[in-house]
Chain A
Amino acid sequence: MNELLTLMKSELLVTAIIFLLLFIKIGKGLKNESLLSLVQVLLLVNFVLGFFFNGEGNLFGDMFTTTPLIAFQKSILNLAVYLISLLCADWLKKTQHLAEFFLLMLSALLGMFLMISSGNLLIFYLSLELATIPVAAMANFDLDKKRSSEGAMKMILSSAFSSGILLFGISLLYGTTGTVSFSELPGLLDGSPLQVLAFVFLFTAFAFKLSIVPFHLWTADVYEGSPIAVTAFLSVVSKGAVAFIFMATLFKVFQPMLATWYIMLVILAVATMLIGNLFALRQQNIKRFLAFSSIAQVGFILAGISSNAVIGTTSVVYFVLIYVFSNLASFGVAAVISENTGKENIDDYKGLYKTNPFLSWILALALFSLAGIPPTAGFFGKLFLLTAAGSTAAYWFITVAALNMIISLFYYLRVVRAVFMDKNEQPIEKIKISASVKMALLICGAGIVLLGLLSWVFEHIESLQ
């Protein structure tokens, strides 16, 4: 019993919050402001508790497994959800169904926790669904907007499709090996054609979730249609979680098929970076822009995964942590502006610096971090990913990746240029930023500036393995 409490503490806590919200909803209900503060406090408690009582072990006959590294990954996701709840406070306060929103978001988070911890293909499939379906409902949260429904529809259809492919892959895998357990699978994989086919199906499902090219087509529409809180959740939390489990399965379960997945990974990484970058060049809507930029970032994560070594795991986890701060900062600024003025186009951002210097600096920092320019942490994150990719001596691969950084700099600079340089007769007026949003933006800014120079974070992640 005690073991259950410590090993599953994150899951249990999130479940407890979900039930609490449910009771509040069924009961008298609370005002949005107080409900939001309550949830924020609970999320913070959850985040802090993530650093204590971390054990290592398996539960339920190896269905559920956890290690200090997995606990740390969950903490990153916790942090991201907490920051989203702060950053999007303005929008959340206005929404009619705040309790439902958090119910859905936390259910998805619970699904992700279980997914990262899964030790078995069945629980993996189950938790993946739990992590997906609530998000589709969240994407539809701007009930009066057509685009929001359209995005949600696209998302649920493509998710269902990818789930089908995943199930097919799992059944083939079970058929050829007779097991669904992650610990038994590696010994039974012999690289027969049927197994390769099963693996390709599995890979496809992951690729859908991570929006790896050519399975990325749903991304931009869903990102654009959804409320920014959901977009941020999708691009940071959801991607981070899938990247973690993707890496873990490749490194642990499919190690015997290294040669197969390495080549797939490298080709798709190059395609993902290139397509993501090229499409980002021409976007006008800031959410679509960030959607394509996040596709390109996934390409870099894949580069890190391709190393198949400890340095790969470390640099991917480290990069995701930095990515949480950078991406949430840019989404946070976009959320503030969209909520106060309704403007979401890059052209509307022209002359922003004159009226809103704080937002402008945070946005610039975030974009430079995404582009990988020092002194921001993104520089270190990207460089370590490329170092990891280089450890397999694939120099042409890092050359392509490095050249992609030039393209990405071009479009990130486009936004910076609009904010700082372009003239505008009617810039966005001065926005009053609420305390919680300001705090969250400051946390993100501090994370972006400090994470790179505080090397113990990196070393801590490394020591967890």
Chain B
Amino acid sequence: MNLLLLIGAPLLTAVAVLLSRNQQQVRWISLAGSVVQLGLAVALLLAFRQETAAGNTEQVFFEMNYPLFSSLGINFHFGVDGISVAMILLTSFVVIAGVLVSWNIENLPAGKAGMTKEFYFLLLLLALGAYGFFISLDLFILFFFLEISVIPKYLLIGIWGSGKKEYSANKLALMLMGGSALILVGMLGLYFTAGHSFDILTLSQTAIPAETQHLLFPFLFLGFGVFTALFPLHTWVPDGHSSAPTAGSMFLAGISMKLGGYGCLRVATYLLPEGAKQYADIIIILSAIAILYGAFATMMQKDLKYINAYSSVSHVGFSLLGIGMLTQTAITGALMQMVSHGLMTALFFAVIGMIYDRTHTRMVNEMGGLMKPLPFISTIFFIVGLCSLGLPGLSGFVAEMTVFMGSWQNDDAFHRIATIAAAMSIVVTAVYILRAIGQTAMGPVKNESFLQLKDAGWNEKLAAIILVAGILAIGIAPGWLNDLLRPAAEEIMNRIAGK
């Protein structure tokens, strides 16, 4: 399969959106484009499975390499392994759901700013960056795609956001730029130590001295860590998510935060295994703090968006914990958690957006009894809440369980304590999730005017169903995802073990 299609589809859609004349066209073009992207992602999955079934054991599939700045060793080098395929699939799910949720944006509170065309254009640009990022095998191009998303994120929050949106947009842009600056230094360090190459596959074959690895690893891991809300660099997350428009939050939490996690693993850990070993304990401590701190911070929140933003910090902590544990199962679990959290949090934000668009409040204590007027939305809210607290049968359980199993394989006291501490957060999660759902959906109707509200429209239903389907597909039959991720995790472990 030609990987350029994955970049071409969102790019063409974005250009078509810019050229379209009215809102109707904008919407339908975006939807058509995102359906094509979903189709491509599924086709990629099938093609990938076919290759593996045929016994193809290459490290990356569908490789393509075009020179760009050949004298500097920069190439358009693309290729996918299981991790990339899973991430691309996740991206396409979130994109289509985001487009559907924003269907009537001009009638929603966020749509007051107008400029629907620009809104969709920026969303698609964000998607383009994510697809490009996940298929890049050249650090420079990877960095290029990572950075592409800065402008859309800033403008999406700043123009269509709510609350203190300018502050949040600025904070997000500057913190992410700070992360990029760290990545840049680490990347150039790698480039010069490894004989002027940005190529991930070449770099993975190069012997990099341990001291250099110890020096460069913090730059790369912290840099990508900013993107994925590594404690204590997570502070842009609550503000950014809560100020962003619904689709913006979905993209931010569902896709953009995963870019960071993917980078932590693929670039920092995979290319600098000695560095990873050196700093693994610190990563574990930081992620355990993030898990617990995020969970407890969520308990104190009254705003639904803040609840999900802080719980995201907690959930993403599991991914980083899995990476820090450095066992194959834990890394597989970390990757599963990324996919699972991407779907779950996108759905969470979608539901919050739906509630907010109707009730015009996100405060938990102002709601109550929404089950009656909004049965569909409330049901989805239930499902996603249960997924978040790790109910078996939904994706959250599978992912977190795998992380814990992998973590437990380290049999010293330090790792055990960290695992137990992280596992305890599940109780806290259950408290805040159940409380939030109980206060919003159950109980007596607090505000009589809420009884007049209309339940989800076709577009919102479709968006929710697509994401729920993803969650169930992982929750009920995790085997396919495991098959996808495990060989790639094994490759990373081989490098860490020095084979």
Contact = CB atoms under 8 A, between A and B. Distances in A.
A410 B174 contact: yes
Given A459-B69, A459-B70, A374 B177 contact: no
B314 to A, nearest CB: 27
Contact of B147 (A374, A399, A402, A422): A374
A123 interface: no
A312 to B, nearest CB: 12
Interface of B: 67-72, 74, 140, 144-145, 147-148, 150-151, 154-155, 158-159, 165-166, 169-170, 173-174, 177-178, 181-182, 184-185, 188-189, 191-192
In the A-B complex, the 9 residue pairs with the smallest Cβ-Cβ separation, listed nearest first, are A402-B181, A390-B188, A421-B158, A374-B147, A406-B177, A455-B68, A455-B69, A409-B177, A374-B148
B189 A420 contact: no
B158 A311 contact: no
Contacts of B184: 383, 386, 398, 402
Contacts of A442: none
A321 interface: no
B144 A406 contact: no
B57 to A, nearest CB: 33
A409 B188 CA distance: 21
Contacts, number: 84
Contact of B173 (A399, A403, A413): A413
B159 A405 contact: no
B154 A399 contact: no
Given A387-B72, A458-B69, A462-B71, A417 B147 contact: no
Given A402-B181, A413-B154, A459-B69, A374 B144 contact: yes
Interface of A: 311, 368, 373-375, 379, 383-384, 386-387, 390-391, 393, 395, 398-399, 402-403, 405-406, 409-410, 413, 416-417, 420-422, 455, 458-459, 462
A413 B181 contact: no
Contact of A395 (B68, B181, B185): B185
A406 B69 contact: no
Nearest to B145: A374
A31 to B, nearest CB: 40
25 contacts: A374-B144, A374-B147, A374-B148, A375-B144, A375-B148, A383-B140, A383-B184, A386-B184, A390-B192, A398-B188, A402-B182, A402-B185, A406-B178, A406-B181, A409-B174, A409-B177, A410-B170, A420-B155, A420-B158, A455-B67, A455-B69, A455-B74, A458-B69, A459-B69, A459-B71
Contacts of A368: 151
A418 B168 CA distance: 15
Given A374-B148, A391-B192, A409 B185 contact: no
Contacts of B148: 374-375
A420 B155 CA distance: 8
A413 B166 CA distance: 10
A398 B159 contact: no
A417 B170 CA distance: 9
Contacts of A384: 69, 72
Contacts of B169: 417, 421
Contacts of A393: 192
Contacts of A421: 158-159, 165-166, 169
Contacts of B165: 421
Contact of A417 (B67, B158, B178, B181): B158
A373 B158 contact: no
A375 B145 CA distance: 8
A335 B178 CA distance: 33
A391 B188 CA distance: 9
A210 B173 CA distance: 30
Contacts of A379: 144, 147
A379 B158 CA distance: 22
B235 to A, nearest CB: 15
A386 B191 CA distance: 12
Which of A391, A455, A459 has most B Cβ within 10 Å?
A455
Contacts of B174: 406, 409-410, 413
B144 A413 contact: no
B181 A403 contact: yes
Nearest to B160: A421
Which of A368, A387, A405 has most B Cβ within 10 Å?
A387
A455 B75 CA distance: 10
A311 B147 contact: no
Contacts of A462: 71
A373 B155 CA distance: 14
A386 B74 CA distance: 15
B155 A386 contact: no
A8 to B, nearest CB: 31
Contacts of A375: 144, 148
A373 B191 CA distance: 21
Contacts of B147: 373-374, 379
B141 to A, nearest CB: 10
A421 to B, nearest CB: 5
A395 B70 CA distance: 23
B115 to A, nearest CB: 8
Nearest to A454: B68
